[in-house]
A = this chain, B = another copy of it.
Amino acid sequence: VRAVVLEGDRAVAVRQVPDAALPGPDGAVVVVERTAICGSDLHLYHEGTAFAGVRLGHEVVGTVAETGPEVRTLRPGDRVLVSGIVACGHCPACLAGDPVVCLEGQMAALGTSHALPGGQAEALGVPAADRFALAVPEDVTTEQAVLLTDILPTGYLGALGAAIRPGEDVAVIGLGPVGLMALQCAQLFGPARIFAVDVVEDRLRRAASFGAEPVDATGGQGVTAVLEATGGRGVASVIEAVGLDATIVDALSCAAPGGTVSVIGVNLSMDLPFPMALAFLRRLTLRAQVASIPGTWATLLPLLRAGRIRTDGVFTHQLPLSAADEAYRLFDARSDGVLKVLLDPTR
């Protein structure tokens, strides 16, 4: 099969690779219908030499081609979405849909190492498929299904982790695809006002159309603007969806006393300069997480089907898998029009 392979810094190619195999008796092989590029893929893309040979991609919707003998809930021919995060699949945490705290310590993202080939490919092996793949109801679109593989669960858990209470104010820092999902999920908790903080005009406009108040952070004015809009006090909940050291510190700086900062932007620093004085004197809570995808599906599917979460306009571009190189360059450039890019492996 063909797959997107990392070849160097900012260099990917579509290569012929060995066919996807069953990852075990509890696994399945999925023929990919659509797959998307995620902001976290860019971390690998930027350091491609260090990860050369890795087959990328963790946002996959497709059709089951084969199932191992232990699989109970799926059959060949089923249209499924695949969790971008997998783990052992059999410990109590995995059974409860929470692979991030897998008791076997096996949490991993698809497409981030040689051990676990990614899904920007014509086919993909899915381990513990009863836990990490889900049959897609007919009334759910392919685009919606792709969003359920990572960024909508991530946005939801980011909002949940921010401990939003009805009538309180929220700030979402970073209105890329994940931030936009987080913004909508924040609405599920009944806040009074949501401030959408970004530097890209296009994103601020989109956030406003989803009911947020846009805050232009150009020139580092984001924190000041949020504080001004809240009488100097800050907001009770902040969702950080960028992952830079500076934006995480910004998030803490615009939290009100007693507030919660929920980080879903990828940040793998071991020495981020943390304002403990702020946290201590204002009783702040910081929560960071990679998302435990499967546990959110029972919540998000009914919301999508009831029309309570909008997904229109998220995918701004679709390219054939063969044009992956162009797709990555386009997505990486973050030029105004691009929000999220779909790849079509059938072309």
Contact = CB atoms under 8 A, between A and B. Distances in A.
A126 to B, nearest CB: 18
A66 to B, nearest CB: 19
Q: Kindly report how many copies of this chain are found in the complex they form together.
A: 4
Given A192-B303, A192-B306, A306-B193, A263 B289 contact: no
Interface in A250-291: 256-258, 263, 266-290
A278 B156 CA distance: 21
A269 B302 CA distance: 35
Contacts of A305: 192
A290 B300 contact: no
A281 B290 contact: yes
A310 interface: no
A286 B285 contact: yes
Given A189-B189, A271-B275, A167 B92 contact: no
Contacts of A306: 192-193
Interface string A167-187: 111000000000000000101
A283 B290 contact: yes
Interface residues on A, range: 35 or more
A2 interface: no
A269 B276 contact: yes
A283 B82 CA distance: 21
B269 A308 contact: no
Contact of A288 (B166, B263, B279): B279
A206 interface: no
Nearest to A258: B101
15 contacts: A92-B97, A100-B258, A107-B257, A156-B166, A166-B185, A167-B300, A189-B190, A190-B308, A192-B302, A192-B308, A193-B306, A267-B276, A267-B277, A272-B276, A283-B292
